[in-house]
Structure 1
Amino acid sequence: MRRLTTLILTLATLASPGLAQDMRAPGVAADDSRQIVDITGPPWNSIARVQTNIGGKCTGTVIGPRLVLTAAHCLYNPRTRRLLAAGSLHVLLGYERGDYKTHLTVDALHVPTAYDGTKPGESVRHDWALLRLSAPADVPVLAPASRAAASGDSVALAGFSQDRVHLLMADRDCAVTAQGKPAGPGGMLIFHSCSASRGTSGGPLLVRTDGQWRLGGVNVGITAQAGNLAIWPDGLDGAIKALSAP
């Protein structure tokens, strides 16, 4: 737990470009094993590009007919120091090379009250957001797993990385390297070896359960010491119920 606490103290350096020399784009290892995936087939067709009216671009996952899970920091406006309103958000399904299958707007959102965009390191355990779409998504739902991805689990991570921003890429040759939940409120921290860079924030850390892909975490960034980081959202079930209510 002491090592985990030390790592948490470094999280203010999320997405820092000053990482080890064996990196390409921040978070992408020299032995990059990412591949372009088929956005028309599962589970990749359940992964969305999330865009904002101020130019932000992240990744999200369709976890309900009208629900997309992403990272809270993707919705933060550093100029106003506030979260963007639902009407400023756009979800693109089947996005590839500037084209997309479906464009949906967002009519409501949930972000944990403890999330503070001015303090990314301190807020990382609360760095998730649930978006309610203006209409049902025309893709399969990628359901959350029954538990967070755990140490030793083989996992995959998909998203729209900054170095290939117009293509959905996935690293399917990686694993969870550490997991822990310090005292206090907030989600589980999941450190993993998947290559990913800016733009993959909000993307799904995938685990296989009974032969099917499930969401085992939400990618949120990189750290100075421990590679890439995902979290297991604390309070997701309540948010799903709230945004699914008539």
Structure 2
Amino acid sequence: MRFVLTLTFMALLGGTGPVEAQQRNTSLTGLGGANEALVWQAVGRLDADSVGFCTATLIAPDLLLTAAHCVYSPTSNTPLKAEDLTFRAGLRNGTSAAERQIVQIEAHPGYTPGQGSTVENIRHDVALLRLKTPIPTHMLDPFVLFDERFAKGPVSVVSYGRGRAELPSRQAVCRMFDHYQGVVLMDCDVTFGSSGAPVFSHKNGRGQIVSVVSSVGRFEGKKVSFGMVLPRLVADLKRQMRANAQNPLASARRITINSGVSRTTSTGGAKFVRPGGS
């Protein structure tokens, strides 16, 4: 199968998906109602001081799942400091269901910061973050991973993004339509800030995370979003996290963060974006 990534700033902001996808997909809608948002409160905004935000999801009382590129500075490609990251679960108009600091960061070793949205990077664009204080399950119910074989079909995405930083948005139906060497292709509506957003399968009732939003680009002339096949990657990261748990400072490779703004490169991606930014 021919597989060409053309990821540019214009691909993120302009263009439309195929007409047939528009006919079957639902629109992106803000979760403005309290009852509607309640189901998705384990999805939250991951804020990085002086950088911006991504989307992250609680998968255990003390573990977050997000994209690997969300834990690197978008200007210097160096690791962010754990204490400069804050998870705001279910953030809606300034109010969070829970708020926690991060104490440990583990990005998949297969991801290379600064290399852009190559097939190899998209395939490994996953990170686990450990919370300083767990969020009890009676407060928030973590989502679980979908561990069955990849199958084409409908999925949903919950994310934050540019222009909708204060309210989570959900696309109830978009589609996984192909995969290639561990990279998943979708026609979901995502933008800056959507990086790390969970892609849900609803095959077994409550949503299970089947992938994570990595980047946006074009495939065979059509605008698409990219994710990855998760189970093996998350298992790798859990082992890595346990191995480094006794020395989180070393594993996070603490450095000084350069002051940055939202940006894209010639290879693009659904990068960090400042709240309210453009």
**Paired residues for 1:225-236 under 5 Å:** 225=219, 226-233=223-230, 234-236=232-234
Q: Which amino acid aligns with 2:167?
A: L
Query: What is the percent sequence identity of the aligned residues?
Result: 23
**How big is the shift at 1:224?**
2.6
Superposed CA offset, 1:78-119 (max 9, x none)? 333311121221100120112223210111111112322211
Q: 2:58 aligns with which of 42, 45, 62?
A: 62
Q: 1:14 to 1:76 in 2, by over 3 A?
A: farther
User: Conserved in 2, the CA contact under 8 Å of 1:15 and 1:198?
Assistant: no
Residues of 2 paired with 1:80 and 1:202: CA distance? 20
Partner of 1:144: 145
Partner of 1:36: 30
SS at match of 1:45: coil
Q: 1:15 to 1:211 in 2, by over 3 A?
A: farther
Q: Which amino acid aligns with 1:211?
A: G
Residues of 1 paired with 2:177 and 2:10: CA distance? 19
Superposed CA offset, 1:104-144 (max 9, x none)? 01111111123222112222221111000011123101000
Residues of 1 paired with 2:186 and 2:215: CA distance? 11
TM-score, scaled to structure 1: 0.82
TM-score, scaled to structure 2: 0.74
Q: Which amino acid aligns with 1:99?
A: T
Q: 1:173 to 1:79 in 2, by over 3 A?
A: closer
User: Conserved in 1, the CA contact under 8 Å of 2:122 and 2:226?
Assistant: no
Which one scores higher on RCO, CA 8 angstroms, separation ≥ 6?
A: 2
Q: 1:224 aligns with which of 218, 224, 233?
A: 218
**Paired residues for 1:1-246 under 5 Å:** 1=1, 3=2, 5-7=3-5, 10-11=6-7, 13=8, 16-17=11-12, 19-20=14-15, 22=16, 33-37=27-31, 38=34, 40-42=37-39, 44-122=40-118, 123-137=121-135, 138-147=139-148, 149-151=150-152, 153-181=153-181, 188-225=182-219, 226-233=223-230, 234-243=232-241
Partner of 1:185: none
SS at match of 2:202: strand
Residues of 2 paired with 1:53 and 1:156: CA distance? 29
Residues of 2 paired with 1:61 and 1:148: CA distance? 21
- Unaligned stretches of 5+ residues in structure 1: 24-28, 182-187
Residues of 1 paired with 2:149 and 2:156: CA distance? 13
Superposed CA offset, 1:191-234 (max 9, x none)? 11221111111011000132221000001121133411111234
**How big is the shift at 1:240?**
2.3
Q: Greater shift after overlay, 71-80 or 54-63?
A: 71-80
Give the alignment's Cα RMSD to 1 decimal.
Answer: 2.5
Residues of 1 paired with 2:176 and 2:11: CA distance? 21
Residues of 2 paired with 1:197 and 1:79: CA distance? 19
Residues of 1 paired with 2:127 and 2:207: CA distance? 21
Superposed CA offset, 1:17-52 (max 9, x none)? 4642x48xxxxx79870122256522x111011010
Residues of 2 paired with 1:48 and 1:15: CA distance? 27
Q: Which amino acid aligns with 1:203?
A: A
Q: Which amino acid aligns with 1:193?
A: D
